[in-house]
Chain A
C-alpha cells in the first residue's frame, strides 16, 4: 500500500523558516517525481513545487520561487520542503503527492503550517 506521511508543520513567525518532510512507503520512491500542494484554510488546492525522481530538476510556483526549496533523500524515502522568509499567506496545509503515469495519484494527509506573530 502506498503511504505518504507529512510532518514538521507548526507555528512560525513571519520571516521565519521551517522544513517539512514527507516519508514515503509502499512503492519505489526513487522512481517517482514528487510534488508539494498546499491548501489555505477554507480555500482550494494550489500547486507549489515538484522534483524529479533523481532530484536534479525542480520547479516552483511563482509565489514561492526564491523562498522555498524542494529536495529529496532517496536513501531515506523522504521528500522535503524548506520554507524561508515565510509570510502570512503561506499559512496552509501542505500535502505531498506522488506522480505516476503523469498524474498525482497518491496523496498524504497533510501537515499544517501556520505563519503568525
Chain B
C-alpha cells in the first residue's frame, strides 16, 4: 500500500533554513511526489514536483528559496532564508497510477 509519511511538526528561526521530509512506503521509492503549501485559512498552493533522482520543477512564482532533493525513499523540501509567511502546513502528494491521489499527513512549520 502506497503511504506517504511526514513528521507532524517542524520549527526553525527567521532567516534560517529548514528541511522537511516525506518518506515513501516500501516498494515505492522510485515515485515522484509533489509538495504543496497551505498557509493558515487558505487553499493549498503547488510548490514543486520532485523526482526520485532529485530533479525538481517548481510552480509559477515559487521563490528560489524553495528547493527539493531526494535520497532513496525520502523526498525533501528545503526552505532557506525563512520568512514569516513560510509558516504554513506542507503536504507531499503522489499518485497511485491511474487510480487515485495520496497525500501525506502534513508537516506544520513554525517560524520562530
Contact = CB atoms under 8 A, between A and B. Distances in A.
Contact of A45 (B49, B57, B103): B103
Nearest to A57: B98
Contact of A44 (B43, B46, B57, B106): B106
A95 B44 contact: yes
- Interface of B, secondary structure class, is strand
Q: Which of B42, B49, B103 has the most CB of A within 10 A?
A: B103
B43 A110 contact: yes
A117 to B, nearest CB: 27
Q: How big is chain B's contact interface, by range?
A: 20 to 34
B101 interface: yes
Nearest to A35: B101
Interface in B45-103: 45-46, 49, 57, 59, 89, 91, 93, 95, 99-103
A63 to B, nearest CB: 11
Given A44-B91, A45-B93, A59-B100, A109 B43 contact: yes
B49 A47 contact: no
A70 to B, nearest CB: 12
Contacts of B57: 101
Contacts of B105: 44
Q: Which 4 residue pairs of A and B lie closest in terms of their CB atoms, listed nearest first?
A: A47-B101, A105-B46, A44-B106, A45-B103
11 contacts: A44-B104, A45-B36, A45-B93, A47-B103, A50-B100, A59-B99, A95-B43, A102-B49, A104-B44, A104-B46, A104-B93
Given A35-B101, A101-B57, 15 more contacts: A37-B44, A44-B89, A45-B38, A45-B91, A45-B103, A46-B103, A47-B101, A59-B100, A60-B100, A97-B44, A104-B46, A105-B46, A105-B59, A107-B36, A107-B46
